[in-house]
Chains A and B, each alone.
Chain A
């Protein structure tokens, strides 16, 4: 079956530091890949997505590239801000049937001023 593995948190960084959150996946076929973010006290929001190999999703300074050869979709940001403190979830959706999402375990990011 499908699965998503994320690096464990919490990840604690100083403001303006470089961020990488690792995500690898197992799936049949060619899934679509997503990063969702959950800010404190809020619901899940779609951060970015990529639907095929070598696609790069980007939003709010975050980027992730769909790497089929390494089955990875690592999230990166060049300079984090305190407001980026949140829980980040990597997810995949297969291309058949219902296209429900399979989520990773989530990674909590704490950015200190």
Chain B
């Protein structure tokens, strides 16, 4: 199974600033995804991070707000841009090693915007 490391684990940011979250997997993976978990709520898929091309965003999420990079098969970043208090959430990176393998998650980045 894949071990996923995210950093930072938490941050407190001022509104209007941006934060980049890094996700590193200990093995090559086929699919990487970014999720958001708002306080007390379930996980919502933000986008699929595509290696070497633009990410695929879900309805309600746009590239200008959540730019994503995936330069290789083990690493991805998510940037939360021009933050507002409504962006306060846990952001989770996830990945699978093959189409039939389960999805593994990092421990998440707890973001608070003041």
Q: Which residues of A contact B (CB under 8 A)?
A: 34, 36, 42-46, 49, 89, 93, 98-106
Contact = CB atoms under 8 A, between A and B. Distances in A.
Nearest to A101: B103
B102 A89 contact: no
Contact of B31 (A45, A98, A104, A106): A98
Contact of A105 (B33, B41, B96, B104): B41
A43 B42 contact: no
B102 A100 contact: no
Given A93-B103, A99-B99, A44 B45 contact: no
A46 B45 CA distance: 17
B42 A105 contact: yes
Contacts, number: 46
Interface string B85-100: 0000000101010010
Interface residues of B, number: 20
B99 A101 contact: no
Interface of B: 31, 33, 41-45, 48, 56, 92, 94, 96, 99, 102-108
Contacts of B41: 105-106
Q: Is the interface of A mostly helix, strand, loop or mixed?
A: strand
A98 B99 CA distance: 8
A19 B24 CA distance: 36
Given A43-B92, A44-B105, A98 B42 contact: no
A67 to B, nearest CB: 20
Nearest to A46: B102
Contact of B48 (A34, A44, A45, A98): A98
A42 B42 contact: no
B107 A42 contact: yes
